[in-house]
Amino acid sequence: MNTEITASEMRRIDANCGDLGLLPLQLMENAGASVARAIRARFPGTQTRIVVLAGTGNNGGDGFVAARHLLDYNPLILLLGRARDIATDESRRNWEILRNLSADLREIKDSSELPELEPAADIVIDAMLGTGVRGSVREPVASAIDLINASSAFVLSIDVPSGFNPGNFEKVVRADLTITNHRMKEGLSGRPEITGEIEVADIGIPTRATLIVGAGDLPPTRNARSHKGDNGRVLVIGGGAFTGAPALSALAALRAGADWVTVAAPKSVAGTIAGFSPDLIVHSLSGKYLAGDDADIVNALIRKHNVTVIGMGIGRESETAEAVSEIIRSNPDARFVIDADALHALAMPMQPGTPPIITPHAGEFRMLGGDVSADLDERCELVMDFSKRNRVVTLLKGDIDVISDGRAVRINRTGNSGMTVGGTGDVLAGVAGAIFANTGALAAASAGALIVGTAGDLAFLKYGYGLLATDVIECIPDAMRR
């Protein structure tokens, strides 16, 4: 498992900790306290002059906590901005605590109000900007960075040096010590001229908390200026043996936000599938089941869509299995979600290209060569190893879903035993396909499992064990609300 963590992954974890009851205020307290301990260990004398430069985000909140733990040093806390603009409740609360304790607080509304740091400070705590910096650093932070870099003070940066953006170091604090929260951040290693010494602070996020999917895994809200098709074109290939399964996948993809969903189905069932809903676009193939003669038409459709979801109700005719195998093999760079009967047509490992999402239950996973353990931790390791060896993203369905791309693993605890009703797996494939159109495979599989499980829980509140797959579809929009 990669020891570095991206800014987006850290945001996901932070959001999901809240779902587990691990409050952002607790994490902020632990982060700030770790900074204060590092200062005391290196500078035990309380005559040391400390200046804290804090932004209006959570990085600034970490700095406020550190300042509170170091109040006996009489630190000067400079807020780069106005107190009324502090962005989060946690940061605002810690600012108010400092105010109530009569700490030396100043609001810096303009770069001209920045005091000289030389020789006023022995230590500068940089708590201005955290991870995820985009574009140029703005004032007054830009001028504050120049002041810090021009001073001879010992500089401690919280999480990352302010302005740090992997690949762009035009305007960045040059620290003597960086205390980064939870795990090493992407790009920090190998940059001692910027980061100085690096310490990783344990801020109280257990490993299990990083695995569980939650609100942080929901797809981002769409661009208000987007047009039809911008939010995903999904092709569903299914039907023949059954008619309802591909219709459920297609309707679920629409409810999950796909702009355009096409069902490619054998001629024998295409009319029936089209009759389920006027929202479905159905392309009729030849014969009673998918066959090799359909490959050219299907391949052309795949090129017109962002994602292809294949296998629902398709049957296990030998000619169908050969056609599925050929379709997947002919489109190595296409995005596939492979479910149900199509899983039986796969030859592992998958060929090089874009790794598909596969959605087996335990029996199908064993059929593909995987092993399943009753122990969750062992099951996670088995799924991760299987995914790595076979170049797939696996969504192993169960009472607890396990998702892995071979490098990371996640678990989904939403859902209920009422979802054993037929069709909920088809719904999952459609939702994962819709999200896969706009994000990576691991993120799509994780979000799909979360959304469908949550929708199933909402449907269960109304229908109990009488819930239907169509009830789950209707609850998808509510399940996607943050």
Structure-token pair, residue 479: 């399940």
- Which stretch of DSSP H or E encloses residue 5? none
Helix (H, G, I), strand (E, B) or coil at 7: helix
Say how far apart CA 189 and CA 469 lie, in whole Å.
Answer: 48
Q: State the Cα angle at 442 between 373 and 339, rounded to 5°.
A: 70
Write out the two tokens for 120.
């006023």
Burial class (CB in 10 A: 0-12, 13-18, 19+), 101: exposed
Inter-CA distances, 79 with 60, 115, 117, Å: 8, 12, 15
User: 28 is written with which tokens?
Assistant: 């902020």
- What are 281's strand-pairing partners? 262
User: How far is it, in rounded angstroms, from Cα 203 to Cα 364?
Assistant: 40
What's the number of CA atoms in the CB half-sphere (13 Å) around residue 256? Answer: 36
Other Cβ atoms less than 10 A from the Cβ of 420: the count is 9
How far, in Å, CA of 362 to CA of 161, rounded? 46
3-state secondary structure of 433: helix
C-alpha 193/C-alpha 356 separation (Å) is 41
CB of 103 within 8 A of CB of 72? Answer: no
Distance between CA atoms of 301 and 425, rounded to whole angstroms?
Answer: 24
**Residue list for the binding site:** 58-62, 126, 130-136, 159, 162, 245, 313, 361, 425-426
Distance CA 65, CA 185 (A): 21
Q: How far apart are CA 135 and CA 124, in angstroms?
A: 25
Q: CB neighbours of 349 closer than 8 A, spacing ≥ 6?
A: 389, 390, 391, 392
**Helix, strand, or coil (residue 420):** helix
Q: Tell me the C-alpha distance between 244 and 238, whole Å.
A: 10
Q: Which residues are annotated as a binding site for (6S)-NADPHX?
A: 58-62, 130-136, 159, 245, 313, 361, 426
**Number of separate helices (H) and strands (E) present in the chain:** 17, 16
Single out the residue of 34, 39, 66, 72 nearest to residue 53, CA to CA: 66
